[in-house]
Structure formats: structure tokens, C-alpha cells
Structure 1
Amino acid sequence: MIKYQHILVVMDPVAENQPALHRAVSVAALQEQAGITLFLPIYDFSYEMTSMLSSTERDEMREGVVQGREEWLKTLLTPYEDSKINFDIKVVWHSRPFEAIIQQVQDGQHDLVVKSTHKHAMIQSFIFTPTDWHLLRKCPCPVLLVKERDWPMGGNVLAAVNCCSDDKDQEALNNKIIGVSAQVAELLSASLHLVNAYPITPTNMALELPDFDPQVYNAAVKKHHERALYEYAVRFDLEASALHLEEGLAEEVIPDCADETNASLVILGSVGRTGLSAALLGNTAEHVIDKLSCDVLVLRPDA
């Protein structure tokens, strides 16, 4: 059974509500002997630029800011005083939040990072912060990005898989996604659904190849994905009604399916591309998350 017992909550230094903390408490309550660390990386460039102060005085000022934020975090734990969860608080002075978070994950051997995503005031949609992007690409443990919807018991969990590849690593990631999703669904007494998007027939193939029949090609691609999805369903004992196979881009299909199934949680994988490939191709997880109104749990390959 899946266990998230060392949970790291990335706190929002400016928000009145802390949905990530609320969600982490909900997750910990489903576990045994779970602990939560409230983590806040802070930095103020003006403290580094004050030439009138000595290095010792600057250190003392930074320490005062850190202690003030620690006291603030303690007030946020007041509603959970009767909880059996073990809480810890850590505030660090660091100019690059995602590096501080990843370092804490490694030092504290955390098995889950919980962080809220930000809502854009103008269009009422959620936006990705740079920290979110870096975490999805580099965090060694699962990342749960929290929106504002609760997880109702008996709801739906949607696992997004990629059946278009015969690659063994992708198959292993698919198995991991479905396995974790099944266990999370069991914890929530929820129903598990699988979604897979298969590609639209490239128009240039029909133009460049005179004998190319797009309908035959499309049917063959769909059949391949149906077979792969059915094999996963058999392996994990899922009903046919829980399988969702749609033509189109994953970043369009997954959010549409999440809405149709009224999913409270979507679980997907991130290959964590960096460098040029990330700039050119991006990651499906990064394109999907902004379009979802529910929480997203992102898993990395075991390797």
C-alpha cells in the first residue's frame, strides 16, 4: 500500500488561505504515523544590498525575519492542535525556492511534496509559476499541485497514461501511474478511470503519399491504443466503462475527460525534460495542469 508519511508542504508567504496545508492534512489523516513539514523559503534582496550594515548585522536581520515567519507558521497550525499528525516547521533564507525545496526533499527524505498553484485574478484560471515548472522536472519525489476543490470520498480518480509507445520505460511509468492511482482511489473509496489520447492523423502524410488512406491509418492507430489500454484494464482489474480513449492532444483530452468524469484528482507522469528538448517539446504534465480545475499528482519514472 502506498504511504506518504514524510510530507513536505510548500507554504505560500502571501496567501490568507493555505490549501496545500489543508490537503496535506487530509492525505496524512489517511495514513498511519504521518508527519508534515511546513516549509517556507524566503528571500529579500534589499537585505543583501544594505551597505550601511556589517555582515553580522545583516545576518541578525535575516535571522529576525526567519524567526518572524516561523512564528507565523505556528499560528497556521492552531486548527490542527488536536490532530495526531506530527508537524514540523522549517524556514530557510534562499534566493531560488525550487532549489531550496529539492534540497529539503533530499535532506528530509520526503516522499511527497504538496504545493498550491496560483489563480490568475483577471481570467480566473490557474497559472504555472517557475517554481512549479522546476519541481515537475527535477523533484525526486511525487508532487501534488493543489487547486481549490476538495477530495470527496467516493469520487473519481483519473489516471492519464501514454499507450502510444512500445518503450519499456514508458510502460513502466504507465504501470506506476495506474498502480499509485489504484491505491489512492482505494484510500478515498473512489472509482478509478484511465484516459489515453491517441494522435490525430498527420495531414502531410495524406498529401505526400498518394496511396495513403487516412481512415485506415487512423483505425489502425486507434486499434493499437485500444489493445494497450485493454491490457492495462485486465492487469489492474478495471471495467470497460472506466476506460476513456480519445483522439487528440493529451493536453486537450485529459482536461476534457477530467470534467466529464468529475474527477477530484488527476494522476499523470512527467518525463522531466530539461534543456533544449524542454524548450522545443515541453512536458505534457506542464501543458495539462493549467487546464485542470482539480488537483494533480505528478509522478516521475523510477529511474
Structure 2
Amino acid sequence: MQTIKKILVDIDPDKQEQPALSKALHFAKQQPITIKLLSCLYYPAVMASNLLTPKQLEKTKAEIIKMNQGRLKQLISQHAQENVTYETEVMWHSPIYQGILKVVDSFKPDLVIKATHQHKVIARRLFTPTDWYLLKACPVPILLVKNRKWTKNTSVVAAIDPEHNLSKKSELDKHILKAGFSMSSSLGMPLHALHCFDPSYWDILLEAVDKSGMWADVFSVDEHQNESMVLEQLRYQHNVKFAEECSEYVPNSENQHIISGDINHVLPKTLAQLDAGILVLGTTYRTGLLGSTAQRLVEAVDCDLLAVKPKGFEAPFH
């Protein structure tokens, strides 16, 4: 991720507060930036109305677009800053995520920022289907913001997995750390690197390998070593590879954290301890929505989420 100079901000046409824009303006404290305000519109009730003729429907859509163009001008006047140059675009498109991706392709921003939505019943912000599609398919880093404010003590946390095959082949961990460093530098926040080592997964693997008679072949260790000894060896290997991966962007060992346990439980607690304002994760496109575990995880954490793609990623929706 290069220096952040161009930011695409998704403006929610139905909301008064625009947390995505508020977060975008933080990047202007370090250097001049260009912010493009995008309002991507689609109202199914308008399209399904039997009251309008095709000509009247087009006129209605044009009027809605005009109204939102006026709103973007108001936002610019309310948030004018010396270091910020604004551009605007209002479009009618369905599905909305495809409209946003089209603008990403033409504007070529360094960063996309979009707000999540506050649930009316429970006290947290949830991801919409549009959020999930963009999380997986946006080819540039996308920051999905919640309602937590950034302060001088807020940190950026880059979550990596040096042992994952995809991370090795695509250099995904390097992209995650580089993106975290870019965010940290642009916002004046400390950067931490984090990896979760879950012994429960290794316990299952060790038991299966042991019963299959492949112990020495798989782990290249003495067959008389027990599972706990091998687990400690694996943990040590994780530590070494993690430190090597962090050396360029997070060289301070005090900012390198390996946590142990179920990631759904230990990650939110660790992020709270580090006063994390942004969690940087790597994502790749898969057919359909993300798994329920991943959805629970990213919605459970209290900080904003920056999604980074692996090398050579191309948006699947065009």
C-alpha cells in the first residue's frame, strides 16, 4: 500500500452523520489529499412503482440524483479544509457494490472508506451484504469504519499468519504489514503486528498424524517425542517466522504479539488491550458470503477493519 493521497468515500444518502468522511479527513493532517465523495443510489420501491411511466421514472431518478448532488456540495462546504481537494459523483446503480467497484476502477484510489450500519436493537454496528462483497472484492484496501473515534492513543494492528500457504505464495502478510505501516505513518498511530496460534487445531492434526503412522515423516522428529514436545517446537517455529516477517515494518519486539487460543475469544480482548482503532486483515475472494465464523469475528471486534488483497488480485465484478 503506497502513500495515501486519493481516498474514495462512500456517502450514505439516508444518514445525517457520515463517519466515513470524518475518518477520511484524518489523513489530511499529514499531507494534502484528494477525497472523492460517492453516493451510489438505488431504491427498489421507486423502480417497482406502478404509478410512473418509463419517462416519469427516468425523470424521478434524475431528480433524486440532483438532490444528492446538492447534498454532497453541502458536505463539502461543511468539511472544507486547506489540505483537502474534493471531487463528487452520484450514480444510480444496482447492485450498489458493483457501482462502487466501477468508480474504484475509474478513480483508482489508494483507499476506500465506507461506514458500517448501527443496529437498531443491539449496541453495535453490523456489516451489510454490500459491505461483505466489498470486503472480499474491492481490489484496493478498503476501510470499513464503525462508531469508535480515533485518539492519540489509538493503534493500528496488523494480523498476519506466516504459516498459511496463501500468505507464502501471494506475499499477503507483507501486503498486510505494508498497509498497516502506511496507515500508521499517515495517521501518526503506533503499529503492532499480531498472530494467533491456536493449539486446538494442531492437537487434531498431531493426533491424526500419530495414528496414521506418519509421525517422523511429517515432523522430521524423533518418533519418541510426545505431542506436547512437538507442539512446543511448532510454537517456536511460529515465533521465529513471525519475527522474521515483522522485521521490516514492525522491528520492535514489544510491538510483536503472538496470542494463543481460539481467535474468536482472544483477538477482541487483545485488540482492546492494545487500544486498536484499526485492524488490518488479508482477504481473498470466494464465491458467496464469508463463513459464519469470520462474520462473527469481524463484527465482534470494536475497531475499524482494513481489508487488504494479495498480490495480483483482480476484482471479480465488472
Aligned to 1:241: 254
Distance 1:185 1:217, change over 3 A: same
Aligned to 1:131: 130
User: Which runs of 5 or more residues in structure 1 are unaligned?
Assistant: none
1:282 is displaced (CA, Å) by 6.6
1:122 is displaced (CA, Å) by 2.0
Alignment check: 8 A CA contact 1:206 1:212 kept: no
Alignment check: 8 A CA contact 1:9 1:113 kept: yes
Distance 1:87 1:196, change over 3 A: same
Q: Work out whether 1:8 is the aligned partner of 2:17.
A: no
Aligned to 2:214: none
Q: Work out whether 1:61 is the aligned partner of 2:60.
A: yes
Instruction: For 1:218 and 1:18, locate their aligned partners in 2 and report how far apart those are by CA, in whole Å.
Output: 48
Aligned to 1:293: 302
1:53 is displaced (CA, Å) by 3.6
Instruction: For 1:69 and 1:167, locate their aligned partners in 2 and report how far apart those are by CA, in whole Å.
Output: 42
Instruction: For 2:247 and 2:311, locate their aligned partners in 1 and report how far apart those are by CA, in whole Å.
Output: 23
Distance 1:170 1:256, change over 3 A: farther
Instruction: For 2:166 and 2:127, locate their aligned partners in 1 and report how far apart those are by CA, in whole Å.
Output: 29
- SS, match of residue 200 in structure 2: coil
Instruction: For 1:207 and 1:228, locate their aligned partners in 2 and report how far apart those are by CA, in whole Å.
Output: 24
Tell me the alpha carbon deviations over residues 46-91 of structure 1, each in whole angstroms, 9 at most, x when there is no partner. Answer: 3333445432222111101111111122222232234331112211
What TM-score do the two structures reach when normalised by structure 1? 0.88
Instruction: For 1:95 and 1:81, locate their aligned partners in 2 and report how far apart those are by CA, in whole Å.
Output: 31
- SS, match of residue 271 in structure 2: helix
Aligned to 1:201: 200
Distance 1:37 1:105, change over 3 A: same
1:22 is displaced (CA, Å) by 0.6
Distance 1:37 1:89, change over 3 A: same
Q: Work out whether 1:182 is the aligned partner of 2:170.
A: no
Structure 1 segment 146-165 matched on structure 2, within 5 A = 146-153=145-152, 155-165=154-164
Instruction: For 1:268 and 1:48, locate their aligned partners in 2 and report how far apart those are by CA, in whole Å.
Output: 37
User: Which runs of 5 or more residues in structure 2 are unaligned?
Assistant: 212-223, 313-318
Aligned to 1:231: 244
Instruction: For 1:302 and 1:93, locate their aligned partners in 2 and report how far apart those are by CA, in whole Å.
Output: 31
Alignment check: 8 A CA contact 1:70 1:91 kept: yes
RMSD: 2.5
Instruction: For 2:91 and 2:166, locate their aligned partners in 1 and report how far apart those are by CA, in whole Å.
Output: 41
Instruction: For 2:250 and 2:142, locate their aligned partners in 1 and report how far apart those are by CA, in whole Å.
Output: 26
What TM-score do the two structures reach when normalised by structure 2? 0.84
Alignment check: 8 A CA contact 2:3 2:186 kept: no
The count of aligned residue pairs is 298
Alignment check: 8 A CA contact 1:4 1:28 kept: no
Instruction: For 2:166 and 2:47, locate their aligned partners in 1 and report how far apart those are by CA, in whole Å.
Output: 49
Distance 1:167 1:112, change over 3 A: closer
Alignment check: 8 A CA contact 2:126 2:299 kept: yes
Alignment check: 8 A CA contact 1:169 1:301 kept: no
Tell me the alpha carbon deviations over residues 16-61 of structure 1, each in whole angstroms, 9 at most, x when there is no partner. Answer: 21100111111244333x2111111112233333445432222111
Alignment check: 8 A CA contact 2:155 2:192 kept: yes
Instruction: For 1:167 and 1:154, locate their aligned partners in 2 and report how far apart those are by CA, in whole Å.
Output: 33
Output the amino acid matched with 2:95. R
Structure 1 segment 262-301 matched on structure 2, within 5 A = 262-275=275-288, 284=294, 286-301=295-310
- SS, match of residue 135 in structure 2: helix
Query: In structure 2, which of residues 256, 260, 272 is the aligned counterpart of residue 259 of structure 1?
Result: 272
Distance 1:98 1:261, change over 3 A: same
Instruction: For 1:120 and 1:282, locate their aligned partners in 2 and report how far apart those are by CA, in whole Å.
Output: 18
Instruction: For 2:247 and 2:99, locate their aligned partners in 1 and report how far apart those are by CA, in whole Å.
Output: 42
Instruction: For 1:158 and 1:132, locate their aligned partners in 2 and report how far apart those are by CA, in whole Å.
Output: 21
Aligned to 1:81: 80
Alignment check: 8 A CA contact 2:152 2:189 kept: yes
Output the amino acid matched with 1:130. P
Q: Percent identity?
A: 25
1:189 is displaced (CA, Å) by 3.0
Structure 1 segment 74-113 matched on structure 2, within 5 A = 74-113=73-112
Alignment check: 8 A CA contact 2:283 2:307 kept: yes
Instruction: For 1:264 and 1:35, locate their aligned partners in 2 and report how far apart those are by CA, in whole Å.
Output: 23
Instruction: For 2:166 and 2:58, locate their aligned partners in 1 and report how far apart those are by CA, in whole Å.
Output: 52
